[in-house]
Amino acid sequence: MVKNSFIFIVLIGVAAILLNLFADFNGNTELGTIAAHYASKGIEEVGSANLVTSVVVSYRGLDTLGEVTILFLSAAIVGFFLKVDNTDNKNRQLKYTSEILNTASQVLVPIMLLFGAYVFINGHLSPGGGFQGGAIIASGLVLMFIAQPKKEMGHKMINIIESVSGVSFVLLGVAGVLFASGFLDNKILSLGKFGTLFSAGIIPIIYIFVGLKVGSELTGIALSLKENQNEA
């Protein structure tokens, strides 16, 4: 009973804090100074049509590098934690998947991979970006794992793609120090014509690497969870 009342008190306290936030909030009418700078100067400084992308990749690019590192760390811990020795996988019981799922996955998986690549290549022009595109690619591969559970897929290829794209991201940042004004500066390449595919400097290249990295990390997590099914 004491424990239940504690839970009740905590919930009431958090609700009171959040209610204060709700009562004081009357809706914004203007952008803050930083946001106004990003919105008005973003086109000439970064050249990306999607302002969220210009904040994520260029203005706050260092934060994105930290975020990619956190995702890498959690994927690495999951991989380390769920490691199975694949010496005797013969006695594993697998159910057959239905004909509908099998056929549908053969049609859908290539389209999903293509759409994921489209989303992260166009991240500076339209809604989307590396993280979203990577998640779409990973969900396509998860559909493939579900439809064909017997198909073995090694971690090696995934690890190579992940490491190469992570290192390339850091090297592009260092190239910003050498050839432009600072770490992750996007003016290594020319900004190009606004609104075209080859514009916004280095942003499309960074987003391609981020997309590959996120896609391979999420696929690796799903693969580790799949390999552990027979032990549970």
Partner 1 sequence: MEKFNLENISLSIGILVILVGLWGLLTQKNLIKIVIGFVLFDTGIHIVMVSIGYIKNRTAPIIDSAVDMNNASNLVVDPIPQALVLTAIVIGLGITALMLSYVLKMYQKKKSLDITNYKDLKW
Q: Which is nearer to partner 1, 104 or 225 (CB)?
A: 225
Please identify which residue in the block is written with the tokens 């970006």: 129
Interface region with partner 1, contact rule CB under 8 A, candidates 48-56, 147-155, 175-183, 200-208 = 48-56
DSSP state of 157: H
Asked whether position 56 contacts partner 1 by CB under 8 A, the answer is yes
Asked whether position 200 contacts partner 1 by CB under 8 A, the answer is no
Asked whether position 225 contacts partner 1 by CB under 8 A, the answer is yes
Cβ neighbours for 187, distance < 8 A, ≥ 6 positions apart: 180, 181, 201, 202
Asked whether position 22 contacts partner 1 by CB under 8 A, the answer is yes
Distance CA(110)–CA(86), nearest Å, equals 28
Please identify which residue in the block is written with the tokens 């432009």: 180
Asked whether position 197 contacts partner 1 by CB under 8 A, the answer is no
Nearest alpha carbon to residue 47 among 187, 173, 226:
187
Among 45, 46, 64, 141, binds partner 1 (CB under 8 A): 64
Please identify which residue in the block is written with the tokens 């290829």: 157
Asked whether position 104 contacts partner 1 by CB under 8 A, the answer is no
Name which of residues 145 to 184 contact partner 1 (CB under 8 A). none
To partner 1, the closest distance from the beta carbon of 39 in angstroms equals 4
Asked whether position 129 contacts partner 1 by CB under 8 A, the answer is yes
| Residue 202 in tokens | 């280095």
To partner 1, the closest distance from the beta carbon of 73 in angstroms equals 8
Q: What b/e readout covers 208-224, taking b as 16+ CB neighbours within 10 angstroms? A: bbbbbbbbbbbbbbbbb
5-9-15 Cα angle (round to 5)? 140
Interacting residue ranges for partner 1, rule: CB under 8 A: 7, 10-11, 14-15, 18-19, 21-22, 25, 27-32, 34-36, 38-40, 42-43, 49-52, 54-56, 60, 63-64, 67, 70-71, 73-75, 77-78, 81-82, 126-127, 129, 131, 135, 194-195, 214, 218, 221, 224-225, 228, 231-232
